[in-house]
Amino acid sequence: MSNVIDGVNFVASALAAIFWFISASGKVPSMGTYFDSAPPSDPFLFAVRRSAIWNRFAAALTGVSVLCPLIKNFI
């Protein structure tokens, strides 16, 4: 069981690092000016949303990675 938890920890931490690299490596276009709010098709808004999605996955995987040693200590 300990080896399984170590494997989950390794995979989760590796994927989190990859996801954070992906979120930080995207090209961010210049921000346009709009009267009221940016339309959903705005490239800058799309890039920010894309980065936020990758960050959300990376944070969740980091949480799994942090919980693995805690679970391992209780088993």
Mean pLDDT, 10 residues at a time, the chain of 75 residues: 92 96 87 84 89 96 95 90
The domain of 25 spans 2-29+37-74
- Give the pLDDT of residue 5: 94
pTM for this predicted structure:
0.81
Tally of domains within the chain: 1
pLDDT score, position 42: 87
Query: Looking at residue 17, what is its pLDDT?
Result: 96
DSSP-assigned letter for residue 8: H
CB 47 within 8 A of CB 27: yes
Question: Token digits for 30?
Answer: 């210049």
